[in-house]
Structure 1
Amino acid sequence: MSVTLLLLLLSGTTNDASCHALVRGEGRSAGFDDANHLCSPACSYDRAVRIWTERPAETDVETVVRRYFGLLRTGRIQEAAQLIDHHPVRHVLKSLWTGVADVTADGDEESGSAAADEWEQDLSWLGELGLASFHWSDTGSHVYVEITHRAQVIEVALSFWVKPVDAGWVIAGPSTLW
């Protein structure tokens, strides 16, 4: 735990502004993560795009991707979309659904083709998805993660990248890879 965090805790002067000032840019090096940041229950830090002042480590990116995917799996779509500099959620969900439908079709084209909006009406199928392997580019700026449905890798993968912005670095994506 950082000295600054310890002093704030002892002084009782923590508030959303002081927490955010510490969380932004210092991240884990200051003893902060999503589980122990100090904000009030109404705080939106954990629902906002995280900005790093230095390029985030691969483990930090993978943690955000796992959290993003965990929120998707539980149907918390808008919260997931707010974690990263996000592409349209509908496209991501439709691509994942198409990958799931291809796996479950068993060669019968009609059994795999659901009603046009079925995947949007009942998101329970997201709970059957999982993450498989993470694959990093040689530059360390892009990662794609394989997706499973009922423990079987589907044809759709999600790609994320570390993107520079005026205030530092953010995680952007996902794009869908086939």
Structure 2
Amino acid sequence: MELQREGQYFSEDQMRSREPLLYEQYIGQYLTEEQLLRRSLEAMQGEAGEERGPGGAEGGLAHLLLNSYQERLIQSRMQEEQDREENALEEEEGEEEAGGLGAEGYEPSPQEKSLLRDEFITLMYQRFLDGHDKDFNYSEVDGNPDFDNLDIVNRDAEEKYFDEDEDEEEEEEEMTVVMMS
């Protein structure tokens, strides 16, 4: 998959921005303070050093402001999704408490964290493949012949040809039986 190899589409930051609640349930709630601080610093520095405006530091400040705004959007989106999920669970289960994957105060082992991260990534891939990624324009891919698997296209064409040929033979047999009767 080209998006996995060459792009940032399946980077942790991008997946977090698309599905903040899912990210929080699988990964975010188990991040240490140090990891959260590192993520914040990377977001602030990120491309700021690479993309400078005409005055030098302005690109860095603009990038910092944009990242801050995007983080607020992610947090807002996560809160909305969490509220919706909690309301849905309350309606379905009455008094049961809604929450993430882990119990309150539970700290998974590094192996468990790795498994949760892998599961999150797998879920994100599957959502994408199932066509449930609302931020992706699937029509650009579906309508692009460059992405077609030529083996499958050729096999489909052969099957269609032979199916049509079989249909014609069946019609001829039916006509022969009718004429003989």
Q: TM-score interval w.r.t. the shorter chain?
A: under 0.3
Relative to total residues, which structure has the larger strand share, 1 or 2? 1
Report the structure number with the largest CA radius of gyration.
2
Higher-helix-fraction structure: 2
